[in-house]
Chains A and B, each alone.
Chain A
Amino acid sequence: AQKVTQAQTEISVVEKEDVTLDCVYETRDTTYYLFWYKQPPSGELVFLIRRNSFDEQNEISGRYSWNFQKSTSSFNFTITASQVVDSAVYFCALSTGNQFYFGTGTSLTVIP
């Protein structure tokens, strides 16, 4: 069965702190894709990153970085020097073939 677990329901950090959002996935497929989406208070879902199962290179984009580890089935997301605008719900998602599975989301609040 395919599953995405985001164990952290809510996280609060003070501005400029670093924060890591955890994502653990389950799949028996050897080919799959992992995603992170951001849902700000305005409600729309914003694509952040896509990673395929054959590419374990970590990725950095500005203050965002992603750590993909197949050995632990994790795809964690770190925000460095958090800002108030980072406050949102973050979803991790798994795509295998024709199905798409979202985690339950982590609500991040950055306190000024």
Chain B
Amino acid sequence: DSGVTQTPKHLITATGQRVTLRCSPRSGDLSVYWYQQSLDQGLQFLIQYYNGEERAKGNILERFSAQQFPDLHSELNLSSLELGDSALYFCASSQGGQNTEAFFGQGTRLTVV
């Protein structure tokens, strides 16, 4: 158990809909990262937050947004969903920035039908 909690574990939704994925980092970790893992794109870094502020952006679509709350949990919002958004979404946390050891949650499997 990495200490990073992601909910829900599985999500099935229709095209055009909006979903929210939630992540609770390990106790004491200030950084939260979101990643998307799909068969065709592999593992892609989406975005990082550090202590409530956006720190880095990767290949995140404009339809996607994230935030980190004062209690350090984070949410990833995916809107106007398309079939191609079906993927495994991972959250990870670390004490510091990108160069520190990151611990991953078990992921949320999103299926868009």
Contacts and interface: CB of A to CB of B under 8 A. Distances in A.
Same complex for A and B? Answer yes
B45 interface: yes
Interface residues of B, number: 24
Contacts of B107: 43-44
Contact of A99 (B42, B58, B90, B102): B58
A47 B105 CA distance: 11
A102 B99 CA distance: 13
Interface SS, A side: strand
B43 A105 contact: yes
B112 interface: no
B90 A45 contact: yes
Contacts of B65: none
Contacts of B44: 102
Majority SS at the chain B contact face? strand
Given A43-B106, A95-B98, A95-B99, A100 B88 contact: no
B43 to A, nearest CB: 4
A44 B43 contact: no
Given A43-B107, A99-B56, A33 B43 contact: no
Given A47-B102, A98-B48, A91 B43 contact: yes
Interface of A: 33, 37, 42-47, 50, 52, 91, 95, 97-105
8 contacts: A33-B98, A43-B106, A46-B104, A47-B102, A91-B43, A97-B56, A99-B56, A105-B43
Interface of B: 2, 33, 42-45, 48, 55-56, 58, 88, 90, 92, 97-107
